[in-house]
Structure 1
Amino acid sequence: SLLATTTTAPIEQLVQALVMLKAWGQTPQDDAQSPRAQILGAHVEGPYFAPSQAGAQDPKHLRVPADGAYEQLLAYADLIRIFTFAPELPGAAQLADRLVALGVVPAAGHSAAREEDVRPLLARGLRHMIHLWSGQSTTIREGAWRKPGLLEVSLAYDGLTAEMIADGKHLPPTLMRLACKCVGPERLCIISDATSGAGLPDGARFCMGEMEYEVRDGVGMMLDGSAFAGSTTLLNQMVRVVIEQVGLPVVDAVRMASQTPARVIGVDSHKGSLMPGKDADIVIFGDDWHPRRVMIGGRWLAEAATDEETRDA
């Protein structure tokens, strides 16, 4: 299962993406013959971001919530699971109120906020922080005084959930270990942050919206090398990174890629863990963390694995 995630683009294009997602969900599929991964909804990531923390997001299309254009997106609130914005922008509090009222998870990211910008939004329902360190403000000095940023709020405040891009590129092992110690596997998600560059070799070019990027050293990169542009590592290999480079137990690493994100978006009643009555979505991995067999909704996706593959798994 996955969330279809947008990037910063004109509002009209974002609406078109949501329309397409709705149409896809209504298209009959012969699941009995061809089970498929499920798109559980949308993550609207952009365009309400701070220019200084936009990263690979297209700066031409950044907006502030005070313009009210987000109402065009919220017409599809039944599809939206997470809506990310910078909490310091004008109109952010009103946007948070609307999201909570509609049952959408308000999330903070690509933000230059100070702690005093974030705290009022926490009282209004802000509860999720996207990709730690990436697009997050951090502590600054104002004279003799240190002012915490969004990163420190994400790590220090109990009750918040957060994400990290565990490709071994965006964050070194020490920072991933710090995130795990501060937030813990019950509140910290491993996310792919995948783009159309996911799985492509070094040197390949890919696009998000109107901008072009390149895969370099196993990660998406802006052409000028100034910022990462999403991950090209698939989620199963991120679980391996967290186990081998960070030192987490397998059960915690798998939880961070399954049960915890399912709980964040409110689908843990039927997704994210193996219990009676839940969807039978199962992946059997080999020692290299490549999938050997995949079951979706109780039906095997691929041909039966060989005895050797099953033993290796």
Structure 2
Amino acid sequence: MWEVVDWFKKLVPVVVAAALAGSWWFLGNGAQTGGNVPGEQRVSTVEVSRGAVERPPSMTTAARPSRVLAHYGFGEDGYRPFAVLDFGTAVGAALPGTVVAAGEGTVKLECSGRTVLTYAGLERISVRPGETIGAGGPLGLAKGPVTLRAERGGRALDPVALLWPEMSRFTAEAGVVEKEREAIIRRAVREETRPVRNPAELEPLFREAAGEAGLDPELLKAVAAVESNFDPGAVSSKGALGLMQLMPETAESLGVSDPFDPAQNVRAGARYLRGLLDRFGNLELALAAYNAGPGTVERNGGIPPETREYVRKVLNVLESGN
């Protein structure tokens, strides 16, 4: 029996030495190869609430969507309190903030100014509640559309208009209107300068338009004299057009197809002035609204200071009969 014990004592140092040698070989060779098992792809790991998400190091996050698939607000299918966006594969935070909830495909981010962003539709989440994340920081992965809600102080906001206004549908619609307006102005500039018409030649037109609108033709002529000096081709620095200096949107609302056609322009101007007289019940206020816009007059509770000189000029022309 003692022979067996002596043999075992001699074997233990040999086993320990072999184990130590194997460990040193593994550490030396494994460290040089990055510690990977042969055939495995190296990946980076991002901690999440339920373990870890692995993604290739080359993957970049997108804090700005490539497309707006459905806008916030009312649409054909009713009211939508969120926007539906295409971020690609990796979704990043649009604003820096603190994660207040993360799970079940949703990340809720509390940002400065009491703004809260809620991302839904994520396949894999890469943040934990309580974690602070910077703008563009990874939130998770997505294989399809992501919905984004925005709130400030508990009130819903349009996330696209808030974060990426250039992608908002309202900005796009305003751009279309502005392009149409610019086209009209360019057309006016391209046309040959039209000679100023003799007011006497336009007398029948003013009388006819004034009669249709129930106005004094002298009042209509006084407005045209101050607005354009009876120039049918006049274009103001603000884009007002023709004899009665109609803004493009006003002319369109009055059915004018060619604002430089004297007949169309004067008839529309007469109808517009008639409507302002009925609305304000006062000639001076109506003239101020014709020049500055009815909304400006109502906000001022009277004639705006910058419009007083215009009203004075029209009344002087009307009184002088010139």
Relative to the length of structure 1, the TM-score reads 0.22
Larger Rg: 2
Q: Which has a greater percent of helix?
A: 2
Relative to the length of structure 2, the TM-score reads 0.21
